Amino acid sequence: MFKKIDKKKWYSIKLFLFIVPFLVLVVLFSYYPLYGWMYAFYDYKPPKPLSEAPFVGVKWFKFMVENPVRVEQLKQVLINTFVMSGITLSTSWIPMLFAVFMNELHRVRFRKFVQTVTTLPNFISWVLVYSVAYNIFNSDGMVNSLLVDKWHLIQEPILFLQDSSHVWLTQWLWLTWKNLGWAAIMYIAAISSIDEELFQAAKVDGATRMQQIRYITIPSLLPTFFVLLMMNIGNFLSNGMEQYYVFQNAFNKEYIQVLDLYVYTLSTVKGGYPLSVAVSMLKSVVSVILLVVANGISKLTRGESFL
């Protein structure tokens, strides 16, 4: 009797132990940091420790919205975030298509070459990407010296990096250049899991390559696509700051400053720490709302939810 329960219990303990490392990670990295939200309610300013900082209640939350200029700033930041995330989200089918077409390449060595070349940028840090960009696009960089000195197409160098127009588009291009190959990996794995018999049967029925793609490959990839899409929606507001941090300058800041960058910039200004925490709390709230909404839509349209 005793032994029996023990064995069953031991089995569930064993199962539990499997997930413990992940739980620890989640608690450590996703819940423990919430403790830091406390800073939003104090007049905290280094070097004085939090224990000596006066408690100010919701002062910093009020601060965010009490002044039209500041509201305007926050609005612009949110617009930038939504637009840039929106562009990324609405083009998130590109890696899928890329994977599909790459899969159609029959010369294996060429395919591997393409895959490596497109995946490599993912491992380069943004700082290095920027220094490459700087060397190519500054006033006596590669592009300008070709245009001005070599080909005499233009008189004055074009200041690409200081350009305040098309910021969203150029940033999206940089992001795509860096991420495309990496994002495609998931789809390549998914493609390889499609049953070969389906293709063979289609071939027998006389399906062309395009038809195979349309009726077999893409439909088989859609579940993966949707899972990734939902995950991206959850991260809608976290489009990272490294890229925008290195590319920002006085001329493009208005359009490049996304929420993460705004929070970072605020927090590193002396005395801006509590406010930046307050703003990032706002971000968490909006993220949760977005996720719930996306889940609802999924439930409505596909009949299944992912939460």
Partner 1 sequence: MKKRILATVLATVLTCSMVLSGCGGGSGTTDQPATNGTDDAATTTDTAPADTSGGDAAAPAANHDEALTLEMYNVAANYQGEQTGWFGKILKDKFNITINIIAPQVSGDGEGLYATRTASGNLGDMVLLDNGLLQECVESGLIADISAEIKNYPNLMKYWEQIEKFNKGIGDGTGIYGIPTEMNTNGPTAYMAETVSSMPRIPWDFYTELGRPELNTLDDLINVLAEMQKAHPENADGKKAYGMTLWKDWDGGGEQVTIENVNQLTKWYGQEVNGSVLIGSDNTIMPLTDKNGAYYKMLKFFYDANQAGIVDPDSATQEWGDACDKMQTKRTYLVWNNWMLGFTNNPERGEAGANYMGMPIKDMQVFQTSDYYYGSGRVFGIGSGVSDDVKARILEYYDWLASPEGATTQHIGTEGIIYTVGEDGKYTLTEDGYNRFNSEIMIPEDQGGGNWTDGNNQVNQWIVASVETNPVTGETYGSDLWASYLEKNNTKTAKEWRELYDGKQNEVEYLKDTGMMNIVPSLNLSLAVDTSDISMSRGSCRSIICDASWQAIFAKSEAEFDAIWDDMVTKVEGNGWADLVAYDTAKYQPVIDGRKAAQ
User: Which stretch, 1-9, 101-109, 204-212, 271-279, contacts partner 1 (CB under 8 A)?
Assistant: 271-279
- Cβ contacts of 76-84, under 8 Å, gap ≥ 24: 76/254, 76/257, 77/257, 77/258, 77/259, 77/262, 78/259, 80/168, 80/255, 80/256, 80/257, 80/258, 81/237, 81/239, 81/258, 81/259, 82/236, 83/168, 84/168, 84/171, 84/172, 84/239, 84/258
> How many C-beta atoms surround the C-beta of residue 102 within 10 A?
19
Residues in contact with 137: Cβ distance below 8 Å, sequence separation at least 6, in sequence order: 143, 144, 160, 161
| From candidates 139, 176, 179, 212, binder to partner 1 by CB under 8 A | 139
The residue assigned the tokens 């000195």 is 149
Helix and strand numbers (H, E) in the chain are 15, 0
Q: State the minimum distance, in angstroms, from the CB of residue 103 to partner 1.
A: 14
Q: State the minimum distance, in angstroms, from the CB of residue 293 to partner 1.
A: 19
| From candidates 2, 29, 55, 123, binder to partner 1 by CB under 8 A | 29
User: Which among 88, 156, 161 is positioned nearest to 131, based on CA atoms?
Assistant: 161
Determine if 36 is a binding residue for partner 1 (CB under 8 A).
yes
Residue 161 or residue 213: which is nearer to partner 1 going by CB? 161
| From candidates 122, 147, 253, 286, binder to partner 1 by CB under 8 A | 253
Q: State the minimum distance, in angstroms, from the CB of residue 65 to partner 1.
A: 12
- Which residues on neighbouring strands pair with residue 202, listed in sequence order? none
User: Which stretch, 40-48, 82-90, 116-124, 289-297, contacts partner 1 (CB under 8 A)?
Assistant: 40-48
Determine if 119 is a binding residue for partner 1 (CB under 8 A).
no
C-alpha torsion 286→287→293→297, nearest 10 = 150
Residue 8 or residue 23: which is nearer to partner 1 going by CB? 23
Residue 44 or residue 244: which is nearer to partner 1 going by CB? 44
Determine if 134 is a binding residue for partner 1 (CB under 8 A).
yes
- Residue ranges binding partner 1 (CB under 8 A): 22, 25-26, 28-30, 32-33, 35-37, 39, 43-49, 63, 67-70, 72-73, 134, 138-140, 156-157, 159, 161-162, 185-186, 189-190, 192-193, 224, 227, 231, 235, 238, 240, 249-251, 253, 260, 263-277, 280
